[in-house]
């Protein structure tokens, strides 16, 4: 404090102590927001307001630009889901750090998701994509890289700290409030979390046992208006389990070579890692599509007012929504004693699809760098237990 002054007067040091400024990571920030939500029984206004730091005059100018830009692009009367397109994990550029999580890049997934969505009033729900550079297969409606369209809008001079991110966040908030879309979706990412923190219903897609799922699980609840859907089988060839702390194999990494490989089964690291990582992710497996279809049906029923499509055979934890939850669901039109035969036939067919995916996963254990024990514990044993339980509920014994 020696030599420090305030308003021209020397500052006298008394009872000084040390303050250690903690590292405020993304993980810790999520924990703090979760605490605030738990205390207030919902998303506090301070959280959603904090996502957009702009003066009223700036918001007014931006709102006019938004209205002009999208007046002819979106049909506000049609129920719509805004889908965030991600293509950062498969990007590898010279002299720059490579992208992370190629597994979570969108690829052609929106085409599949659009085909799996329920109807409302006889019309299929619409997906409008954003963030994509060019038209996507199976998605006729998009607003692309929308932020480029209003980058020249003049902000209030007082918004010296108004960032590009604030403008983008206000766009997402404004269009939701105006009714242009009723729910957001995309693969797990920080940008997708922004929708959640703005109080917008969100469906996040992630891979079961992928590194980072623990943090995102904190957002999977009613207060955040968020459903996390987890599929089982990796879509990208560079995704595999890695060796965690203490020698444990805990989670999947993408690409797998950025983490320590398990000692018992090491995949050969590709000679051309760039080419491997830049390959787009593939399609969902058959039963993973079932997980998505039922998961989106539940979210759309809750947040978009669609009719109930699936019934639950037995109470299960539904968020995160994964294979263990999907197995227990069946179409609502198969409810009732008179539909017992059709209901049993449905579960038998689903069991076969699920089994085929399990066998494929098991046949590729080395590719996924998983031991027999990891496969049994995380995939095979839950499959056996769930289907025994389901068959018991159906009165078929534990076949």
Write 268-272 long-range contacts (CB < 8 A, 24+). 270/238
> What pLDDT does 399 receive?
63
Say if residue 231 is in the same domain as residue 346: no
> What pLDDT does 104 receive?
97
Domain span at 367: 336-398
| pLDDT mean over 205-211 | 94
Q: Within a domain: residue 80?
A: yes
What percentage of residues in the chain have a pLDDT greater than 90?
A: 55
User: CA nearest 174: which of 139, 154, 156, 150?
Assistant: 150
Q: Name the most confidently modeled range: 55-64, 115-124, 266-275, 277-286.
A: 277-286
Helix and strand counts by DSSP (H, E) for the chain: 13, 14
Q: Within a domain: residue 52?
A: yes
Mean pLDDT of the chain: 87
Residue owning tokens 């089994």: 355
Q: List, for residues 227-256, the tens digit of each pLDDT value.
A: 999 999 999 999 999 987 766 667 899 999
| pLDDT mean over 303-331 | 93
User: What span, in angstroms and rounded, lies between the C-alpha atoms of 76 and 126?
Assistant: 11
**Domain end: 214, 236, 258, which one?**
236
Q: List, for residues 323-379, the tens digit of each pLDDT value.
A: 999 999 999 999 999 999 999 999 999 999 999 999 999 999 999 999 899 899 999
> What pLDDT does 127 receive?
92
Q: Within a domain: residue 267?
A: no
Least confident of 6-15, 88-97, 104-113, 121-130: 6-15
What's the DSSP call for residue 314? S
Q: Where do the DSSP E strands lie in 181-282?
A: 183-187, 202-207, 226-231, 240-243, 249-253
**What is the sign, positive or negative, of the torsion defined by CA atoms of 336, 342, 344, 349?**
negative
Q: Within a domain: residue 175?
A: yes
**Domain end: 184, 211, 236, which one?**
236
Q: Name the most confidently modeled range: 50-59, 71-80, 98-107, 206-215.
A: 98-107
Q: Do the Cβ atoms of 149 and 64 come closer than 8 Å?
A: no
Q: Do the Cβ atoms of 288 and 324 come closer than 8 Å?
A: no
User: What span, in angstroms and rounded, lies between the C-alpha atoms of 244 and 189?
Assistant: 22
User: What span, in angstroms and rounded, lies between the C-alpha atoms of 212 and 251?
Assistant: 9
| pLDDT mean over 300-324 | 92
- pTM given for the model: 0.89
Q: Within a domain: residue 23?
A: no
Q: Do the Cβ atoms of 374 and 208 come closer than 8 Å?
A: no
> What pLDDT does 13 receive?
59
3-state secondary structure of 261: coil
pLDDT at residue 17 greater than cutoff 80: no
User: What span, in angstroms and rounded, lies between the C-alpha atoms of 285 and 212?
Assistant: 22
pLDDT at residue 26 greater than cutoff 90: no
> What pLDDT does 214 receive?
81
CATH code, 198: 3.40.50
> What pLDDT does 10 receive?
58
Domain count, the chain: 2
> What pLDDT does 102 receive?
96
Q: List, for residues 44-84, the tens digit of each pLDDT value.
A: 777 777 888 888 888 998 998 888 777 766 666 678 999 99
**CB within 8 A of 36, min separation 6: which ones?**
44, 46, 47
**Domain end: 186, 215, 236, which one?**
236
> What pLDDT does 217 receive?
85
Q: Within a domain: residue 169?
A: yes
Say if residue 80 is in the same domain as residue 218: yes
User: What span, in angstroms and rounded, lies between the C-alpha atoms of 203 and 343?
Assistant: 28
Three-class HEC string of 93-142: CCCCCCCCCHHHCCCCHHHHHHHHCCEECCEECEEEEECCCCCECCECCE
**CB within 8 A of 37, min separation 6: which ones?**
43, 44, 47, 223, 224
Say if residue 340 is in the same domain as residue 230: no
Q: Within a domain: residue 366?
A: yes
Q: List, for residues 113-165, the tens digit of each pLDDT value.
A: 999 999 888 888 989 999 999 888 888 888 889 888 887 788 888 877 667 88
Q: Within a domain: residue 250?
A: no
Say if residue 228 is in the same domain as residue 343: no
> What pLDDT does 11 receive?
59
**What is the sign, positive or negative, of the torsion defined by CA atoms of 253, 107, 144, 73?**
negative
Q: Do the Cβ atoms of 103 and 90 come closer than 8 Å?
A: no
Q: Do the Cβ atoms of 385 and 354 come closer than 8 Å?
A: no
């Amino acid at each position: 404090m020696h030599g420090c002054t305030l308003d021209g007067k020397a500052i006298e040091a008394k009872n000084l102590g040390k303050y250690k400024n903690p590292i405020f990571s993304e993980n810790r920030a999520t924990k703090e927001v979760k605490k605030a939500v738990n205390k207030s029984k919902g998303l506090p206004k301070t959280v959603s307001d904090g996502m957009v730091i702009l003066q009223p005059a700036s918001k007014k100018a931006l709102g006019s630009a938004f209205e002009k830009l999208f007046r002819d692009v979106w049909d506000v009367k049609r129920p719509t889901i805004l889908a965030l397109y991600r293509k950062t994990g498969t990007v590898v550029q010279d002299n720059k750090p490579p992208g992370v999580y190629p597994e979570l890049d969108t690829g052609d997934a929106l085409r599949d998701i659009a085909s799996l969505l329920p109807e409302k009033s006889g019309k299929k729900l619409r997906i409008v994509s954003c963030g994509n550079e060019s038209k996507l297969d199976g998605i006729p409606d998009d607003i692309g890289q929308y932020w480029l369209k209003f980058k020249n809008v003049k902000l209030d001079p007082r918004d010296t700290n108004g960032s590009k991110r604030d403008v983008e966040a206000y766009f997402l908030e404004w269009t939701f409030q105006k009714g242009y879309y009723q729910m957001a979706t995309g693969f797990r990412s920080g940008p997708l979390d922004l929708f959640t923190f703005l109080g917008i219903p969100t469906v996040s897609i992630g891979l079961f046992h992928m590194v980072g799922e623990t943090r995102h699980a904190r957002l999977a609840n009613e207060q955040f208006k968020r459903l996390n859907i987890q599929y089982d089988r990796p879509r990208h060839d560079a995704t595999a389990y890695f060796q965690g702390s203490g020698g444990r194999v805990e989670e999947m990494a993408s690409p797998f070579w950025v983490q320590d490989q398990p000692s018992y089964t090491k995949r050969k690291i590709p000679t051309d890692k760039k080419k491997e990582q830049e390959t787009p992710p593939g399609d969902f497996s058959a039963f993973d599509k079932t997980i998505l279809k039922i998961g989106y049906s539940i979210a759309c029923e809750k947040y978009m007012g669609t009719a109930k499509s699936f019934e639950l055979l037995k109470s299960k934890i539904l968020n995160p929504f994964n294979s263990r939850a999907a197995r227990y669901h069946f179409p609502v039109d198969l409810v009732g004693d008179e539909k017992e035969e059709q209901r049993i036939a449905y579960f038998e067919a689903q069991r076969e699809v699920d089994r085929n995916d399990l066998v494929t996963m098991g046949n590729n254990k080395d590719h996924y760098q998983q031991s027999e024990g990891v496969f049994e514990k995380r995939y095979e044993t839950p499959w056996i237990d769930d289907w025994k339980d389901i068959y018991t509920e159906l009165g078929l014994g534990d076949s």
